[in-house]
Structure 1
Amino acid sequence: MTAALARARAEADVIVTNGGISVGDYDFIKAVLGELGAREVFWKVKQKPGGPLGFWLLDGIPVFGIPGNTVAAMVCMEEYVRPALRKLMGHTRLLRPEVTGTFEGSFRKTVQDGKVHLVRVRARREDGRLIVVPSGPQGSGILSSMLRSNALALVPADALALKPGDEVQVHLVEEPEDH
């Protein structure tokens, strides 16, 4: 892993690692980056899925350490890595459209964890409003709900649940940034 990251440092403009970023027995990315002299900018974000996300600078090269869990990786790519890559490419609009939607269905955090939860939802326009419905079970390993979604609903850190009729901020992940 050390050799691969050293080689990437010599050849890449940006490095993205997938997995090995949390605190388990096989999570070595943080230690290896430290050995290579990378400067940690941040490690861990208060969100679910995708909390074990890290960002370093390795000789000036941005390094994103995204979680190995598939849904968490997809969320981190969408919410953090994609906007950063767009900025590096010279774009001024970095984020997908964020709008307010009306929630249908139900969502409840298992505990009040102080994290923003990004709920995979299906958004549709109806009678001039944006209606958002969970796209399936929300477990962080359930890829099908990510594949069926076209948006992410942001459940605030201080909220425990969403109920039908609640207004919620939504990132429209199928809309272009400059829409």
Structure 2
Amino acid sequence: MTPQEIELVLNSIAVSSLCLVLTPRLLFYMELRRLNDATKAYLGSTANLPKPVLSRMPMHEASRSVQKALAKRKSNFRWNIKVHDSRDNIEQAVRIEGFVPIEKLGEFNETAVRSQTARGFRAEQLDMKITVDIYKHEHGSQIVWKYHPTNAGEFQRRQQIFDPALNFLMSNTNFNLLKELAWK
């Protein structure tokens, strides 16, 4: 083999390796961008403070749709769901609570976590809880959901550095809820 052929083979291997490394990350960010753009018109620009949504579905049908949306498995997380049905004379409502443990939340840079723990820093835990309240409305139901992090300081820090796993969790959940409720 000539030196030019060897260089061509090595360059081909380098470009192929680069494509194998960058393609999944690029696809992840493209999907995250699509989710954020799709939900921005209905919920506002921040994923962690969504606006209430009105649906034409009756309250219990909306409750089943919310449970279905939260039960969908995506990447490395799935909400653990608990349903509370309250039938009061004043107002009928259903509350659905979801919980995601930190191990399933995602890809906080493993090498950064290892290097911080090696230097004596402790990795902060962040478990996410979501509460979805479904109220009976005159023409259907009103759905209000909020995210509750267990560690507000760590949540704020990850929001500031735009942690992709946390943002993907909230954007994907918002998208699934809207797909099941408002876009039908």
Give the structure with higher Rg (CA): 2
Q: Is the TM-score greater than 0.5?
A: no
TM (norm. structure 1) is 0.27
| Structure number with higher relative contact order (C-alpha < 8 Å, ≥ 6 residues apart) | 2
Flag the structure with higher helix content: 2
- Kindly indicate which of the two structures has a greater share of residues assigned to strand: 1
TM-score normalised by L of structure 2? 0.27
